[in-house]
Structure 1
């Protein structure tokens, strides 16, 4: 049986895009925001490879900014392509979650 980490692999991208849509944000802040939503054990080390891929795929753009504590921080913002990908993710997620919930409810004998 797949563990939670395996199940979250594709979902995490959409969640990151959704958070970034709210405005420019840096990696550590993204990790904290995910944790505030209940995602556990996602460090910056987990998130940065995803962000790098998103940057290469032109889903996010980056800007280096001065930090009050330490070196410059890389801030991420959604591109037009990223906004489109987020819209597609939301549609796919709604369809998938509706389908899975229907199966689970029917198998438990609940009314759909």
Structure 2
């Protein structure tokens, strides 16, 4: 199954969850998503999602100077972001449960 479309639908949720666990800069967030099982996630998709979530007030950002290279822009989650994470997480769990039920009991889908 091509997971590209599935990933687009849950990328906001995944990014909010990763940043809720710990603030991070762009590439750090990409690495954490990949370590979490989203190996095919593109850098540009994550950076675009971070910008969009920030513009929506769901993330905050701050710059941390680095002696070893360029300064890094870190992202943290806002109270609104935590609320959105909770809502989207509940939606995802309901959806995943419904699909799992259909996969495990396809006869239940027949009316």
Cα deviation code 1:31-64 (max 9, x no counterpart): 1111111111323322110000001100000001
1:15 paired with 2:14, answer yes
State how far apart, in whole Å, the 2-side matches of 1:44 and 1:67 are: 21
Partner of 1:43: 42
Query: Scaled by the length of structure 1, what TM-score is found?
Result: 0.89
State how far apart, in whole Å, the 2-side matches of 1:10 and 1:68 are: 37
Partner of 1:82: 81
C-alpha root-mean-square deviation of aligned residues, in Å? 1.7
Structure 2 unmatched ranges of 5 or more = none
State how far apart, in whole Å, the 2-side matches of 1:45 and 1:95 are: 29
Query: Scaled by the length of structure 2, what TM-score is found?
Result: 0.89
Structure 1 unmatched ranges of 5 or more = none
Structure 1's 90 and 51: CA in aligned 2 closer, same or farther, altered over 3 A? same
State how far apart, in whole Å, the 2-side matches of 1:66 and 1:86 are: 29
